[in-house]
């Protein structure tokens, strides 16, 4: 092993050596620099590997031949090694990245870079407080030099502000150090640790030292100077400043906090949380990409700092959690800054230019996912462990605040990503510099590698070794193939997985698996209509299906949550692909992540610190033990799941997301994705049963929510002009029914919910495909612009017809079975009032469905549609499969339901339905699907024959041959009654569709934004103001600490 001190030695030595190189030998100087950095990185990496494997012990390096405290000592352990690797690798990559700038400024700049990296490494390694100060000042000087690399003239001012603040920090630090020394006679951190500092008395010295380090971490709101640097510096340097400097400073602070003792931890937590939340909120209002990333950086460091404050409860997992967040942040932020260097414009929407290179888009997506803490990156595992630790020790407020801040961060990061994917780009493709792209790719690879490593270290399964996830990621490699090949692979994969796993499913899982996997394969048949390569479609699609497949099989809470997140990510990218999908995808991911956070909180609460737990037995255990937290677990999980079922109040993402999605995506997200939430709810009520908060039965609340969703979803669907939006609102309504049935907590109610799972999948997928086909041909989703398509698109018409009959519950099709079960279910329940809402929503479904079929297929055909063709055959094929399935399910509902019925019976210990032959008998009534079908069929044929017997000479006429008050129609447009079809209804019950929910969520985001806009005026841009803020911050914190200590 090469001693770690050589990192410092090589850095410093080469920096001096560079002085000997002639100033015109820039190439040589650069090579020398890179070589030095490479050596340093290698040493660090070597240590990391060795320490991780346990082949060497952590080492202490003595200098000057003396033991501490008489000489400086360095220490390298696992954490140090990791951080050194990150720092040095960042420096190395940044050197590559900044080659042009470095060569422009010459060898001086290179040596400054080396000093910078060396000093950062020293900051990590040293165990001496004063040495800390020295390295810190070196960093200041090096930073001051490197800021000048930027071609942005404003960077000079930013650098100066930085220096001003650094002066104050160094004064604080020095005074702190000297009094610390005075107090315990040693400058060695380990000695300081031996004499724990209380919060009072001599602790002022410690306080000053800590505050100096904290200030170096750019705490909110004393951090305006740092943001100016982020905004104006060379992106290559910003990467170092964010990734390496932040990391090193944080570790230094961590060392001192550890030394200062646990009494300081709450202070750190508060400062960290304050910074995390404040910076994230402020970032909402940024329109400069680098400044936004700067805010995000500051916030992330704040988060880690807050985690540092939790080291007392994290125990052994501390390094895993803090390191996970810290290193992921470093990699992601460095990557993002490097990408920002490739983008010519500074506006957020200017990143749209990245679309020219799919690799960069993938990198961007990966970095965003890393920052937000999505699987499979380390942040995800860290988030999981952290929440469990927090919940285990009852720190619920911290938990809530961290999750809230993370949600805000997700908000602006995904909004940013959405701009990049969807906004128009004016500029010409600049031709990304290959070497810079390579640097980004290196960061990308590092991120994924870290994900793999963290997954491996984690107590939980490594997500990157799960077959479905790998299958989905395989499509990254397959992207160059034509779409149809990928489609075949995807279908085979889905069906194959189902076939392979079928034996392990219980009937409930079987139903969901059939709907999600086989059903997904059927919908994928429609994807054959797309030509070309369809870049970026199959990866998210298959990620979503992977998530679903894992969700069904999830055994532990971790499995479940990870699967949930995976499917959320996949579906987000899928929704984002839609034509006007950007805002809707954003609200989707926000609601989904919010929901996921609630689920996480719920699981954490349920786990009581022991994680992961066996999902079913764990939940039922706490329910049976009547743990006080149990109802809260129920509530958190239920709300989390209901973000996916889009229950009213949490529904506003759905209409746009479904309506703007691509033709074959709409059925996936509507017919399949929503069922994930339902599956979760199923598990929840199955395991936890009825829970009460106070005297309120939570399942009754669910009943109400379901009923209100069913009603309002339907009413809103009535008033839509956009066919897909209509279907989307109808989904809210239908899922409301399912939630309602589930929450009735009786046998038939559950069966009803399951029937809705199947039925809603079939007819909603069918209808979305049909409407998608119409959209494809007519180029519009607005129903009043269509009309009279029945003869042109007969197959599509048939599927819509069958779909609406089934959905509205008219016998003899399968929707009636749902209604029949529904009546039987509510008969067995004690709740009465919510039924009223459900009753109202029944016929309302009829209204919007009629409108759907009428305004599209009937009425007057428009001029420009006279020569339309039937929808593409690939869209029609799955529709016809669905039609057959609906008919079969109508006649033989027992085929799918009988086994599930028996399975549900095991929960309730009853068997209210008797399946005798072809009839079903319940406690209250009976239903014979076959008889109904036969009777109706016979009567229908008889009446038809009767009509035909009265003459077959009907003259076929055309669309204007109508009795128009003895006039003739003027144009098809003016003769087609379609717009605002249910005007009387709007007059009568329009008050029900006042956008209260949208207004509420709008107010929430508006408040956040205006808070951000107001608060950010703190950052006046004046260096002196910043300095005053720093001082005030210190004094304020001190006063608070004093107040808190008394």
Partner 1 sequence: MTFQWIQIPYALLTLFIILNYGMLMTALIQKIGARVGGRYGIPIWQNYIDLLKNIALRSKISHGVMFYLGPVFRLTGGIGLILFVPTIYGSVMHQNFSFAGDLILALYFVFFGTLGMALGAAESGHPHSAIGVSRGLSQVTAAELPLALGVFAISLQYQTLNITDIVAAQQGSIFNWTLFTNPLATVAAMFAFVGTMMRAPFDVVLAPQEIPIGPPTEYHSSYLALMQTNRVLYPIAKTVIYMNLFFGGATSWPEFFVKIFAIYMVSVFIGVVYPRFRVEQSIQFFLKWGLPVGVLAILMV
Partner 2 sequence: MLPQIAMATGFVLILMGLYGALTHRNILRMIVGFTIADTGVNVVLVSVGYLPGRTAPILDSAVPVADAATRIIDPVPQALVLTAIVIGLGVTALMLAYAYRLFRARHSLDISNFTELKW
Partner 3 sequence: MKDMDKSFRKDTETEFPLREEMRPRTVTAPDGQVIEIDPLRDYFCEEAPKVHRKSYSAIVEGFYNWARANSLWILGFGTGCGAIEMRPLMTPRFDAYRYGIQWRPTPRQANLLIISGYLSVKTLKRAIRAYEQMQQPKFVVGLGSCTINGGMYWDSYNTIKRLDDYLPVDLYIAGCMPRPEALLAGLMELKKIIRRGEAEGANKYAENFDWYKANQKSVIKDWDMPDYSW
**Interface residues toward partner 3, by CB under 8 A:** 777-780, 863-868, 955-961, 963, 966-972
What are the C-alpha distances in Å from 340 to residues 94, 155, 325, 348, 1026? 13, 16, 22, 10, 26
**36: helix, strand or coil:** helix
**432, two tokens:** 């990304």
Contact status: 157 vs partner 2 (CB under 8 A): yes
User: Closest distance between partner 3 and the C-beta of residue 792, in Å?
Assistant: 11
Q: Name which of partner 3, partner 1, partner 2, none residue 159 binds, using a CB cut-off of 5 to 8 Å depending on partner kind.
A: partner 2
Contact status: 671 vs partner 2 (CB under 8 A): no
Within 984-1023, the residues that bind partner 1 by CB under 8 A are: 984-985, 987-989
- Rounded Cα distance, 401 and 307, in Å: 12
From candidates 983, 1036, 1040, 1042, binder to partner 1 by CB under 8 A: 983
Q: Name which of partner 1, partner 2, partner 3, none residue 158 binds, using a CB cut-off of 5 to 8 Å depending on partner kind.
A: partner 2
What is the distance of C-alpha 908 from the center of its chain?
A: 37
Kindly tell me which of 952 and 957 has the beta carbon lying closer to partner 3: 957
- Rounded Cα distance, 926 and 828, in Å: 15
Q: Name which of partner 1, partner 3, partner 2, none residue 970 binds, using a CB cut-off of 5 to 8 Å depending on partner kind.
A: partner 3
Contact status: 632 vs partner 1 (CB under 8 A): no
CB of 880 closer than 8 Å to CB of 799: yes
- Rounded Cα distance, 573 and 588, in Å: 10
- Measure the CA angle with vertex 187, ends 181 and 190; round to 5°: 120
Kindly tell me which of 130 and 846 has the beta carbon lying closer to partner 1: 846
User: Closest distance between partner 3 and the C-beta of residue 971, in Å?
Assistant: 6
User: Closest distance between partner 2 and the C-beta of residue 174, in Å?
Assistant: 5
Contact status: 847 vs partner 1 (CB under 8 A): yes
- Rounded Cα distance, 429 and 389, in Å: 48
Among 320, 326, 370, 333, which residue's Cα sits nearest to residue 124? 326
Quickly tell me which residue has 């409108």 as its tokens: 851
Q: Name which of partner 1, partner 3, partner 2, none residue 22 binds, using a CB cut-off of 5 to 8 Å depending on partner kind.
A: none
- Rounded Cα distance, 881 and 877, in Å: 6
Per-residue buried b or exposed e for 829-859, using 16+ beta carbons within 10 Å of the residue's own CB: bebeebbebbebbbebbbbbbbbbbbbbbbb
From candidates 88, 121, 150, 166, binder to partner 2 by CB under 8 A: 166
What is the distance of C-alpha 179 from the center of its chain?
A: 47
Contact status: 170 vs partner 2 (CB under 8 A): yes
Contact status: 133 vs partner 1 (CB under 8 A): no
Contact status: 1009 vs partner 2 (CB under 8 A): no
Kindly tell me which of 961 and 1022 has the beta carbon lying closer to partner 1: 961
- Rounded Cα distance, 789 and 866, in Å: 9
User: Closest distance between partner 2 and the C-beta of residue 295, in Å?
Assistant: 11
DSSP 8-state class, residue 862:
P
**393, two tokens:** 């020790």
User: Closest distance between partner 2 and the C-beta of residue 114, in Å?
Assistant: 16
- Measure the CA angle with vertex 229, ends 107 and 144; round to 5°: 40
CB of 822 closer than 8 Å to CB of 1006: no
Contact status: 853 vs partner 1 (CB under 8 A): yes
Residues 6+ apart with CB under 8 A from 1035: none
Host H or E run for residue 1029: helix 1023-1045
Within 375-434, the residues that bind partner 2 by CB under 8 A are: none
Q: Name which of partner 1, partner 3, partner 2, none residue 859 binds, using a CB cut-off of 5 to 8 Å depending on partner kind.
A: partner 1
Kindly tell me which of 434 and 966 has the beta carbon lying closer to partner 3: 966
**958, two tokens:** 């055309």
Contact status: 209 vs partner 2 (CB under 8 A): no
Q: Name which of partner 1, partner 2, partner 3, none residue 130 binds, using a CB cut-off of 5 to 8 Å depending on partner kind.
A: partner 2
- Rounded Cα distance, 550 and 558, in Å: 11
Q: Name which of partner 2, partner 3, partner 1, none residue 867 binds, using a CB cut-off of 5 to 8 Å depending on partner kind.
A: partner 3
- Rounded Cα distance, 956 and 694, in Å: 69
Q: Name which of partner 2, partner 3, partner 1, none residue 788 binds, using a CB cut-off of 5 to 8 Å depending on partner kind.
A: partner 1
CB of 442 closer than 8 Å to CB of 364: no
Binding range to partner 1, per CB under 8 A, among 321-329, 529-537, 951-959, 998-1006: 951-959
Contact status: 35 vs partner 1 (CB under 8 A): no
User: Closest distance between partner 3 and the C-beta of residue 868, in Å?
Assistant: 7
From candidates 90, 184, 232, 734, binder to partner 2 by CB under 8 A: 232
From candidates 130, 160, 784, 823, binder to partner 1 by CB under 8 A: 823
- Rounded Cα distance, 320 and 305, in Å: 14
Contact status: 67 vs partner 2 (CB under 8 A): no
Kindly tell me which of 596 and 786 has the beta carbon lying closer to partner 3: 786
CB of 726 closer than 8 Å to CB of 804: no
CB of 516 closer than 8 Å to CB of 675: yes
CB of 146 closer than 8 Å to CB of 112: yes
Contact status: 914 vs partner 1 (CB under 8 A): no
From candidates 763, 981, 1019, 1033, binder to partner 1 by CB under 8 A: 981
- Rounded Cα distance, 71 and 61, in Å: 11
User: Closest distance between partner 1 and the C-beta of residue 970, in Å?
Assistant: 12
Binding range to partner 2, per CB under 8 A, among 77-85, 169-177, 342-350, 823-831: 169-177
- Measure the CA angle with vertex 909, ends 904 and 915; round to 5°: 60
Contact status: 798 vs partner 2 (CB under 8 A): no
User: Closest distance between partner 2 and the C-beta of residue 1040, in Å?
Assistant: 22
Contact status: 892 vs partner 1 (CB under 8 A): no
Per-residue buried b or exposed e for 967-980, using 16+ beta carbons within 10 Å of the residue's own CB: eeeeebeebbebee
From candidates 931, 1024, 1040, 1045, binder to partner 2 by CB under 8 A: 1024
Kindly tell me which of 153 and 954 has the beta carbon lying closer to partner 1: 954
Contact status: 805 vs partner 1 (CB under 8 A): yes
User: Closest distance between partner 3 and the C-beta of residue 959, in Å?
Assistant: 6
Contact status: 284 vs partner 2 (CB under 8 A): no
Binding range to partner 1, per CB under 8 A, among 7-15, 128-136, 377-385, 811-819: 811-819
Round the CA-based radius of gyration of the chain to a whole number and report it.
Answer: 32
Q: Name which of partner 3, partner 1, partner 2, none residue 141 binds, using a CB cut-off of 5 to 8 Å depending on partner kind.
A: partner 2
DSSP 8-state class, residue 954:
P
Residues 6+ apart with CB under 8 A from 803: 763, 766, 767, 770, 882, 886
Kindly tell me which of 945 and 957 has the beta carbon lying closer to partner 3: 957
Binding range to partner 1, per CB under 8 A, among 156-164, 229-237, 476-484, 929-937: 929-937
Instruction: For the chain, give the longest Cα–Cα distance.
Output: 116
- Rounded Cα distance, 705 and 686, in Å: 18
Contact status: 1020 vs partner 2 (CB under 8 A): yes
Q: Name which of partner 2, partner 3, partner 1, none residue 940 binds, using a CB cut-off of 5 to 8 Å depending on partner kind.
A: partner 1
What are the C-alpha distances in Å from 278 to residues 159, 272, 409, 793? 24, 10, 11, 56
From candidates 976, 1001, 1023, 1037, binder to partner 1 by CB under 8 A: 976
Interface ranges with partner 2 (CB under 8 A): 130, 133-134, 137-138, 140-141, 144-145, 148, 153-154, 156-161, 163-164, 166-168, 170-171, 174-175, 177-179, 181-182, 187, 224, 227-228, 231-232, 285, 1016-1017, 1019-1024, 1027-1028, 1031
């Amino acid at each position: 092993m090469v001693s770690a001190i050589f990192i410092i030695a090589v850095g410093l030595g080469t920096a001096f050596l560079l002085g000997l190189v002639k100033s015109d030998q820039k190439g040589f100087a650069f090579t020398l620099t890179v070589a030095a950095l490479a050596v340093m990185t290698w040493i660090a990496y070597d240590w990391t590997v060795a320490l991780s494997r346990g082949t060497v012990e952590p080492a202490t390096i003595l200098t000057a031949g003396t033991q501490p405290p008489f000489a400086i000592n360095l220490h390298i352990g696992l954490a140090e090694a990791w951080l050194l690797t990150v720092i040095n690798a960042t420096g190395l990559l940044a050197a590559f990245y900044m080659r042009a700038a470095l060569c422009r400024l010459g060898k001086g700049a290179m040596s400054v870079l080396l000093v910078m990296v060396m000093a950062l490494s020293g900051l990590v390694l040293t165990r001496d407080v004063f040495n800390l100060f020295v390295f810190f000042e070196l960093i200041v000087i090096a930073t001051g030099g490197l800021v000048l690399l930027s071609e942005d003239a404003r960077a000079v001012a930013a650098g100066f502000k930085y220096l001003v603040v650094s002066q104050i920090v160094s004064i604080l630090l020095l005074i702190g150090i000297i009094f610390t020394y005075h107090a315990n006679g040693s400058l060695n951190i380990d000695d300081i640790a031996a004499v724990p500092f209380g919060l009072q008395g001599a602790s002022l010295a410690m306080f000053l030292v800590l505050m100096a380090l904290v200030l170096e971490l750019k705490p909110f709101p004393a951090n305006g100077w740092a943001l100016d640097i982020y905004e104006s510096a060379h992106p290559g340097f910003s990467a170092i400043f964010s990734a390496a400097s932040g990391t090193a400073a944080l570790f230094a602070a961590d060392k001192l906090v550890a030394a200062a003792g646990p009494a300081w931890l709450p202070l750190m937590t508060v400062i960290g949380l304050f910074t995390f939340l404040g910076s994230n909120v402020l970032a909402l209002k940024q329109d400069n990409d680098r400044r936004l990333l700067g805010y995000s950086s500051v916030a992330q460091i704040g988060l880690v700092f807050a985690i540092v404050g939790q080291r007392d409860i994290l125990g052994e997992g501390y390094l895993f959690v803090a390191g996970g967040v810290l290193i992921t942040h470093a990699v992601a932020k460095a990557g993002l800054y490097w990408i920002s260097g490739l983008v010519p414009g500074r506006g957020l929407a200017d990143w749209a230019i990245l679309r020219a290179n799919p690799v960069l888009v993938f990198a961007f997506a990966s970095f965003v996912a890393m920052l937000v803490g999505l699987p499979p990156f380390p942040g995800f595992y860290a988030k999981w462990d952290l929440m469990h630790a927090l919940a285990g020790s009852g720190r619920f407020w911290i938990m809530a605040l961290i999750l809230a801040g993370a949600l805000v961060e997700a908000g602006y990061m995904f909004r940013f990503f959405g701009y990049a994917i969807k906004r128009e780009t004016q500029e010409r493709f600049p031709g990304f510099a290959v070497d810079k792209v390579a640097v980004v790719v290196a960061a990308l690879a590092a991120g994924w590698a870290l994900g793999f490593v963290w997954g491996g270290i984690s107590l939980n399964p490594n997500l990157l070794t799960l077959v479905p996830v790998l299958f989905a990621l395989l499509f990254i490699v397959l992207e160059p193939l034509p779409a149809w090949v990928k489609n075949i692979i995807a279908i085979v994969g889905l069906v194959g997985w189902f076939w392979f796993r079928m034996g392990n499913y219980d009937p409930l899982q079987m139903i969901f698996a059939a709907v999600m996997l086989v059903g997904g394969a059927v919908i994928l048949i429609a994807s054959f209509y797309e030509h070309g390569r369809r870049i970026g479609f199959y990866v998210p699609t298959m990620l979503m299906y992977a998530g679903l497949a894992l969700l069904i099989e999830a055994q532990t809470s971790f499995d479940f949550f990870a699967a949930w997140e995976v499917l959320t990510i996949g579906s987000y990218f899928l929704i984002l692909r839609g034509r006007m999908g950007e805002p809707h995808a954003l609200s989707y991911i926000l609601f989904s992540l919010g929901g996921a956070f609630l689920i996480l909180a719920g699981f954490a609460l349920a786990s009581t610190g022991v994680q992961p737990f066996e999902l079913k037995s764990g939940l039922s255990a706490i329910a049976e033990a009547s743990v006080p937290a149990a109802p809260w677990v129920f509530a958190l999980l239920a709300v989390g799941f209901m973000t996916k079922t889009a229950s009213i109040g949490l529904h506003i993402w759905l209409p746009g997301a479904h309506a703007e999605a691509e033709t074959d995506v709409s059925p996936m997200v509507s017919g399949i994705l929503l069922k994930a939430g339902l599956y979760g709810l199923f598990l929840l009520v199955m395991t936890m049963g009825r829970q009460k908060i106070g005297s309120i039965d939570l399942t009754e609340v669910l009943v109400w929510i379901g009923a209100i969703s069913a009603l309002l979803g339907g009413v809103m669907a009535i008033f839509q002009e956009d066919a897909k939006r209509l279907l989307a609102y109808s989904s809210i309504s239908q899922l409301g029914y399912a939630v309602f049935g589930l929450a009735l907590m009786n046998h038939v109610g559950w069966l009803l919910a399951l029937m809705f799972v199947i039925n809603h999948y079939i007819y909603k997928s069918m209808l979305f495909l049909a409407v998608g086909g119409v959209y494809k041909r007519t180029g519009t989703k607005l129903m009043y612009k269509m009309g009279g398509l029945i003869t042109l698109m007969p197959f599509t018409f048939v599927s819509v017809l069958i779909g609406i009959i089934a959905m509205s519950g008219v016998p003899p099709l399968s929707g009636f079975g749902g209604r029949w079960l529904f009546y039987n279910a509510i008969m067995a329940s004690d709740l009465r009032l919510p039924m009223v809402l459900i009753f109202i929503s029944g016929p309302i479904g009829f209204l919007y469905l009629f409108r759907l079929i009428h305004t599209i297929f009937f009425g007057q055909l428009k001029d420009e549609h006279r020569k339309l063709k039937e929808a593409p055959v690939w869209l029609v094929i799955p529709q016809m499969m669905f039609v057959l399935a609906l008919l079969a399910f109508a006649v033989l509902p027992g085929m799918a339901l009988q086994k599930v019925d028996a399975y549900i019976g095991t929960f309730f210990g009853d068997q209210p339905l008797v399946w005798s032959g072809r009839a079903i008998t319940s406690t209250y009534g009976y239903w014979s699907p076959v008889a109904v079908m036969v009777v109706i069929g016979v009567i229908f044929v008889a009446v038809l024959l009767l009509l035909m017997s009265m003459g077959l000479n009907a003259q076929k006429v055309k669309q204007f041959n109508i009795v128009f008050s003895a006039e003739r129609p003027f144009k098809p447009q003016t003769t087609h009654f379609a717009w605002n079809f249910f005007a009387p209804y709007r007059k009568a019950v329009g008050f029900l569709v006042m956008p209260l929910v949208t207004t509420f969520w709008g107010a929430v985001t508006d408040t956040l934004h205006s808070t951000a806009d107001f608060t950010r005026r703190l950052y006046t841009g004046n260096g002196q103001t910043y300095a005053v803020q720093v001082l005030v911050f210190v004094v304020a914190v001190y006063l608070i600490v004093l107040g808190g200590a008394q």
